[in-house]
Amino acid sequence: MPDVTRETLSSVLEEIALLLELKGENPFKIRAYRQGAEIVESFDGDIVARAREDDLKGIKGIGEALQQKLHELATTGTLEFHQKLRAEYPDTIFDLFDVEGLGPKKVAALHRKLGVDSTASLKQACEDGKVAELSGFGKKTEQKILEALARRERFADRFLLHTASNAAETILDQLRAHPKVLRCQYAGSLRRSKETVGDLDFIVATDAPGELTRWFSEMEIADETIVRGDTKCSIRLDNGLQCDLRAVSNDEYPFALQYFTGSKEHNVAIRSRALKQGLSLNEYGFSGDGEVPDVHDEADLYKALGLDCPPPELRENRGEIEAADDGELPRLVELENLRGTFHNHTTASDGRATLGEMADAALDLGLRYLGIADHSKASFQANGLDESRLRKQIEDIRAWNRERGDELWIFAGSEVDILKDGSLDFDDDLLAELDYSVASVHASFTLDEKTMTRRIIRALENEHVTMLGHLTGRLLLRRDEYAVNHEKIIDCAAETRTIIELNCNPRRLDMDWRWWRKARDKGVLCAINPDAHRPEQFQFLKFGIGIARKGWLRKEDILNTRDLESVKDYFGQPKAERRL
């Protein structure tokens, strides 16, 4: 049987919808495929098995034509209809859909009228002023497209943390299972939990380096071998991510792991510290005139330099070496410390799972409480709730708590829009009925820094705003942050006792890790918020924890490490009286 997953099915349908739109096909047909993709994605049951057995009758929204196609796809691994459609266009045309601001209709117009079929030809057409002349585009759109293309180029060689992490875990599992591998780990920016990753760096300890580099280049996941030597090998995965493997001896392993974990700045500082002690340090070991210390793991290596071992996330030469010297490294928060989560969505706004489904998933994860914060009405594109729908949701949540609150407590909240002038999308009376609120900016991103900062500060000053959502609105590798003064927001959050969220969505990871230590020292409390729109997205918490650690945060700095009663107490106090 071909290796077909739910994602294969839905992404092929989604791609068909795009292709049909490119061709200018009938909108009903297009919609049927797009809806089909959504249904497949959220279907409660083993949709792949049912497609394989041609047992799709009676599923609402999957008509006969789709049933047949899903069956073909599930049994053969490909779909002729899709392949034929695809063959009409060059592969590069699909890159155009990733350009910010370009939907299928625009791509279709560019293709049909200007013959644009790649980001390169799009850039050329913009530079020639041809795009501005197309009806429905104009000078401004042309400029926006050029900016989006420039951003793409800038980010072209980087990957989101979760893309890198998923690939790395798959490869690491295989390395661990290899009989000739004594120890292995990924190093580099992923081990340091950077918000984006350039390439993956694996270190293995082995007595058979040549055998391992060959095995690595022949792994099924490898799309291409870039270089292969006796101790080094680089491959590329089909998503473009490069993976470097270095095979070293067991004695060299701690040195290689430390060196390739980086960061470069951290390494430079560590090396000069070693030199001052008469030791020269490189990726293979210590050398010096006198006796060289015995090193079995990274902790030994740091200990030889008179240092506690800094967690990888801290190794950016931003004070961790001094703290390690003084025995003052923080005890960083861990995933196991989390007791609940705030800021999650349901089908009431733009989530893909119902309140009950999200609650069941939270229970499965062993969480004790769950905060629901669906969008408010100004976010109409996300189907934001108006007053009456929100009141109804509050009632549903209270009913859940009466029935099942001793298993999982649900907090009724809202992700309330901060409007352009800093006022909120709901009035105070309604906000007061909620257990908590997350206030976020979702529109009017182009204000200047001063105006944007004032806008957000006005929201934080509202006593019903419990936390601030995704501070900068950035979408990593896609959209830059809007202009906002972090220092002023942090000061205001401390003063008004407003929590700042650490949004764990891998596209956001916002507020940025570089600000958390300062915020913590000023007395700002953090909430690690997955912003989950479906149950699987609770997994984002893992990346939030990585970023929190990178920001020097400890368990006590984070609201959702507290037990249920403490959180209830916290929300129950008037905002001005809340303390860390």
Q: Report if residue 463 touches Ca ion, rule: CB under 5 A.
A: no
Q: Which is nearer to ligand DGT, 267 or 466 (CB)?
A: 267
- Name the residue whose CB lies closest to Zn ion: 440
Rg (the chain; Cα; Å) = 26
Long-range contacts, 402-405 (Cβ 8 Å, 24+): 404/359
Nearest-angstrom CA–CA distance, 454 and 22: 43
Q: Which is nearer to ligand DGT, 99 or 168 (CB)?
A: 168
- Name the residue whose CB lies closest to ligand DGT: 262
Q: State the minimum distance, in angstroms, from the CB of residue 492 to Zn ion.
A: 20
- Tokens for 437, please give them: 């609120």
Identify what 262 binds: ligand DGT, Ca ion, Zn ion, none; CB under 5 to 8 Å per kind: ligand DGT
Stretch of 16-24, 198-206, 384-392, 507-515 lying at the interface with Ca ion (CB under 5 A): 198-206
Q: Which is nearer to Ca ion, 15 or 244 (CB)?
A: 244
Q: State the minimum distance, in angstroms, from the CB of residue 221 to ligand DGT.
A: 18
Residue numbers at the binding site for ligand DGT (CB under 6 A): 188-189, 194, 197-199, 201, 259-260, 262-264, 267-268
Q: State the minimum distance, in angstroms, from the CB of residue 469 to Zn ion.
A: 5
Quote helix, strand, coil % in the chain, to nearest 5: 50, 15, 35
Q: State the minimum distance, in angstroms, from the CB of residue 440 to Zn ion.
A: 4
Q: Report if residue 199 touches Ca ion, rule: CB under 5 A.
A: yes
Identify what 213 binds: Ca ion, Zn ion, ligand DGT, none; CB under 5 to 8 Å per kind: none
Q: Report if residue 537 touches Zn ion, rule: CB under 5 A.
A: no
- Tokens for 3, please give them: 């290796």
Q: Which is nearer to Ca ion, 268 or 443 (CB)?
A: 268
- Tokens for 132, please give them: 């501005």
Q: Report if residue 349 touches Zn ion, rule: CB under 5 A.
A: no
Nearest-angstrom CA–CA distance, 106 and 244: 39
- Cβ atoms of 499 and 466 closer than 8 Å: yes
Identify what 112 binds: Ca ion, ligand DGT, Zn ion, none; CB under 5 to 8 Å per kind: none
- Tokens for 231, please give them: 């101790």
Q: Which is nearer to ligand DGT, 268 or 399 (CB)?
A: 268
How many other CB atoms sit within 10 Å of the CB of residue 37? 20
Q: Report if residue 244 touches Ca ion, rule: CB under 5 A.
A: yes
DSSP E strand boundaries for 432-479: 438-440, 467-468
Q: Report if residue 188 touches Ca ion, rule: CB under 5 A.
A: yes
Per-residue CA distances from 143 to 110, 179, 435 (Å): 15, 56, 44
- Cβ atoms of 122 and 110 closer than 8 Å: yes
Identify what 217 binds: Ca ion, ligand DGT, Zn ion, none; CB under 5 to 8 Å per kind: none
Name residues contacting Ca ion, limited to 276-335 (CB under 5 A): none
* Burial per residue of 42-81, b for 16 or more beta-carbon CB atoms within 10 angstroms, e otherwise: ebeeebbebbbeeebeebeebeeebbebbbbbbeeeebeb
Q: Report if residue 201 touches Ca ion, rule: CB under 5 A.
A: yes
Stretch of 237-245, 314-322, 405-413, 439-447 lying at the interface with Zn ion (CB under 5 A): 439-447
Q: Which is nearer to ligand DGT, 262 or 422 (CB)?
A: 262
Instruction: Give the number of residues in contact with Zn ion, rule: CB under 5 A.
Output: 1
Identify what 226 binds: Zn ion, ligand DGT, Ca ion, none; CB under 5 to 8 Å per kind: none
| Residue 423 DSSP symbol | -
Q: State the minimum distance, in angstroms, from the CB of residue 85 to Zn ion.
A: 35
List CB contacts of 340: < 8 A, sequence separation 6 or more. 362, 367, 368, 369, 370, 371, 409, 560, 564, 567
- Tokens for 22, please give them: 């490119």
Nearest-angstrom CA–CA distance, 149 and 119: 7
Q: Which is nearer to ligand DGT, 193 or 498 (CB)?
A: 193
Site string for Zn ion, 440-479 (x = CB under 5 A): x---------------------------------------
Q: Report if residue 346 touches Zn ion, rule: CB under 5 A.
A: no
Nearest-angstrom CA–CA distance, 57 and 11: 21
Kindly list the residues in this chain that would bind Zn ion in the complex (CB under 5 A): 440
